[in-house]
Amino acid sequence: MQLFYNLSLRSKITIIITGLVALVLTTGFSLHLYSEVRLMKERVLSEKTLIARIVGNYSATDIIFNNKETALKSLAYLKEYPSIINAHLYDNTGKHYISLYENTHEHNNKPDQDYEKPWHQFTDENFNILEPIFIDNQKIGSIYLHTSISDNLKKIKDKVIFLSLLLITLVLLATSLAKQLAKVISQPILSLADTATNFTKNKNYELTLKSNNKDETGQLINAFNDMLQEINKREKENAVANEKLKKNEQNLKSILDNVVDAVITIDDKGSITSFNNSAEDIFGYEHDEIINKNISQLMPEPYASEHNSYLQHYLLTGEKKVIGIDREVIGKRKNNETFPMRLAIAELPKDPNGIRRFTGTCQNLTKTKQQEELLRRTQKMDALGKLTGGVAHDYNNMLGVITGYAELLESALTEHPKLAKYAHEIFHAGQRGAKLTRKLLSFSREKLTEEDLVNINALLKDEQHMLEKTLTVRIKLILELDENLWPVWLDINDMEDAILNLSINAMHAIDGNGQLTLSTRNEKVDVMDTKQLDLKPGDYITLSVTDTGCGMDDETKEKIFDPFYSTKGDKGTGLGLSQVYGFVKRSGGTIKVYSEPGQGTRFALYFPRYNKTRTISIKNKTTNTEDLKGNETILLVDDEPALITLSAELLEQHGYHVICAENAEQAIQILEQEPVDLLFSDVIMPGMDGYQLADFVRMQYPQIKIQLTSGFTDNRHMNMINDDLHKNLLHKPYNTHTLLQKIRELLG
């Protein structure tokens, strides 16, 4: 049976149809033959019964009236039937009366039967019948017919042979037809199977089957095609969805891996289930070594216990003490370093297993704290700078008046040498005061600048000898200079002062023998460094001043740039480092201090690389003020009456016609009435300032030359002012020579 199941569908159909046809035909033919035999027997029986009865009846009177002659004649009619072999008549006692053919003794074979009952018998080739003869219900005798059925049997046999041949022919025909039918049925199934195999192996979902039939196989193929289309459609949708999902996952992962903050997920037991790249960076753990560890490992005590108790409390009560709230805590790295961080915890939806999950976002606050500190200090320094700047500005104006009049006095007292000497002393004292003011302004960054292109290496080499002398032999000076050092744009005098200040501080810090290293190098500051260094991205030159001195504690380090702060007691002015600080800031750079008590100190000064062409004013120095005289009309504008009077005095002494105005508005009114050759104006004035006045004059009176003067550089005007005016600015306090020289240069 299993063998049959393993056969191909085609073979099965062929076998089944052939078998069924053979079975049906064989059964039909057998029934037909059986029926034929039965019919033949019935026919033989009825025919022979009829003959027996007719002849018996016909012979009845022969027996009754005992007339054998007529009886024989009666029987002689049976000779017409070739199938009748013999016939016998018996009387009512059963005794043989007469036979058709007396030469045989078959009548003796008459069965021992109740002679009143009809009897018949089929043998292989014979049919024998005994039929009683009745007249008027009285038994007269009986007739016995011995017949042959060989003819009938021959017909039956012929029919059997014919039917057998017909059966074989029909079965063969059925087999052939069944094969064709099986082919018709199995062909679409085989092509379906081929397509399905192709479909499965090659993942070719674009396949379709052609069907011209509208029968069941056609419907099957159509359904199969529909199924393929549906699968194809679903495959495409799945592919698109998978691609989208994959992209989303990648996107999400890259987002998580690239967020600056550490993102950590934990389960309800506090076990870490995910740890992003930033978390690895911040905490110093590799992803695989921290997964499944408890979150408390990432915090020192008491934060870890506190965190656990908060979490347990939330899980038990649902009270949100830390969930959804960000707070500052202390984190712990793998190397047990601690750092400030901002921790925000949120509850995630439960995972597929129903376990509650939490996500923690940790922001490293180390840099933020540093920035905050820097900002605080910068704000403090700015406040101090503004205070000192304001004071220094007023001082400058007053010193200008003092030195100016002292100069005038000195030149007027040529005939009284003693008095002239007093005036000269006043002048020098004013000069010293101006120097002190300059230091204050240097700190406040509101200093008069005389910037130039400087090679720090060359400067250090020039200063080396002087420094070595200053530092004495107990301190060894080492220069580590970058040969390809970029040039910088700064005030060379300030630079010299800064180097000297730092070197002297180092000397004071070194007790006994020591070493001072001055090193330069080029440095690129990128975006990442800007916050830490408080610089814009770009190229910088660094000058490091490193000593092997006593170093500083944090408290000292915080105050060293404050003006008037000194560790040297009465020996120091407290303005050295604040001057350096102001100078570096003013030059667009920054200064960093690295120091540990007992380990020494390093100051790192950053200056921006010079990369622009700047016009450098050519200073033609003339020593004789006699050559600086003129007769042009000069309009003086200044809100400081003492200074304006002084300047007017000086200029008038040198032949100039001077008109004075206390503010810009007054100056404009004068300009409308008087012809003026040169405008000499202070920059900082109430109302319209010097630059605005200069712009107005340029527009309205382009022939008038302009000279501006100021106590300090006001950075507010840096971006809007005419560069030439700014460059040519005359810085207060100016001496007579400088003033006259500037004016003569302009008037030609």
Partner 1 sequence: MRSKYKKYIFLIIILFCNSAVSQTAEEFSTKTAFMVKMSYFINWPESSILNKDNSTFIICIEGSPKYFTSLEDWATTGKIKKRPVTLKYINGDISELSSCNILFITSNHNLSSYLDIAREEKILTISDNPGNAQRGVIINFFNVKNKLRFEINIDEAKSLGFKISPRLLKLATIITSGDIK
Give the nearest distance from C-beta 145 to partner 1 in angstroms.
19
Give the nearest distance from C-beta 132 to partner 1 in angstroms.
13
Give the residue with the Cβ less far from partner 1, 95 or 571.
Answer: 95
How far is 178 from 172, CA to CA, in rounded Å?
10
Give the residue with the Cβ less far from partner 1, 5 or 65.
Answer: 65
Return residues touching partner 1 (CB under 8 A). Answer: 57-58, 60-62, 64-67, 70, 92, 135-139
Backbone angles phi and psi of 90, in degrees to 5? -125, 150
- Name the DSSP letter for residue 323: B
Give the nearest distance from C-beta 55 to partner 1 in angstroms.
12
- Chain centre to alpha carbon of residue 551: 48
SS (H, E, C) 225-263: HHHHHHHHHHHHHHHHHHHHHHHHHHHHHHHHHHCCCEE
Residue 650: other Cβ atoms inside 10 A: 21
Give the nearest distance from C-beta 144 to partner 1 in angstroms.
20
Q: How far is CA 137 from CA 114, 140, 264, in A?
A: 16, 9, 125
- Chain centre to alpha carbon of residue 250: 5
Q: Which residue has the tokens 């029909």?
A: 170
Give the residue with the Cβ less far from partner 1, 54 or 419.
Answer: 54
Give the residue with the Cβ less far from partner 1, 70 or 271.
Answer: 70
Give the residue with the Cβ less far from partner 1, 71 or 228.
Answer: 71
451, β-bridge pairs: 491
Residue 266: other Cβ atoms inside 10 A: 22
- The answer to whether the CB of 95 falls within 8 A of the CB of 109 is no
- Name the DSSP letter for residue 286: -
- Alpha helices by DSSP H, listed for 7-81, are 9-64, 68-76
Which amino acid, 643? L
Which amino acid, 704? I
**DSSP-based three-state secondary structure for 687:** coil
Q: Which residue has the tokens 């002659």?
A: 69
Give the residue with the Cβ less far from partner 1, 100 or 648.
Answer: 100
How far is 711 from 317, CA to CA, in rounded Å?
69
Per the structure block, which two tokens stand in for 482?
């970058």
Give the residue with the Cβ less far from partner 1, 138 or 305.
Answer: 138
How far is 343 from 332, CA to CA, in rounded Å?
13
Nearest residue to 128 (alpha-carbon basis) of 111, 150, 104, 108: 111
First to last CA, the chain: 129
Give the nearest distance from C-beta 142 to partner 1 in angstroms.
14
Give the residue with the Cβ less far from partner 1, 138 or 187.
Answer: 138
Q: Could you please report the per-residue DSSP string of 518-553?
A: EEEEEEEE-HHHHHHHT--SEEEEEEEEEE-S----
- Chain centre to alpha carbon of residue 729: 57
Give the residue with the Cβ less far from partner 1, 58 or 310.
Answer: 58
675-689 CB burial, b ≥16 within 10 A, e <16: ebbbbbbbbbbeebb
Give the residue with the Cβ less far from partner 1, 67 or 735.
Answer: 67
Per the document, the length of the chain is: 748
Where does 597-746 show beta strands of DSSP type E?
A: 600-608, 633-637, 657-661, 678-682, 705-710, 730-731
Helix (H) or strand (E) holding 397: helix 366-412
Give the residue with the Cβ less far from partner 1, 54 or 746.
Answer: 54
Give the nearest distance from C-beta 76 to partner 1 in angstroms.
13
Give the nearest distance from C-beta 79 to partner 1 in angstroms.
18
Give the residue with the Cβ less far from partner 1, 74 or 147.
Answer: 74
Give the residue with the Cβ less far from partner 1, 63 or 502.
Answer: 63
How far is 636 from 646, CA to CA, in rounded Å?
11
Give the nearest distance from C-beta 111 to partner 1 in angstroms.
23
Give the residue with the Cβ less far from partner 1, 67 or 297.
Answer: 67
How far is 263 from 276, CA to CA, in rounded Å?
6
Give the nearest distance from C-beta 54 to partner 1 in angstroms.
11
Backbone angles phi and psi of 605, in degrees to 5? -105, 125
Give the nearest distance from C-beta 114 to partner 1 in angstroms.
14
Which amino acid, 589? G
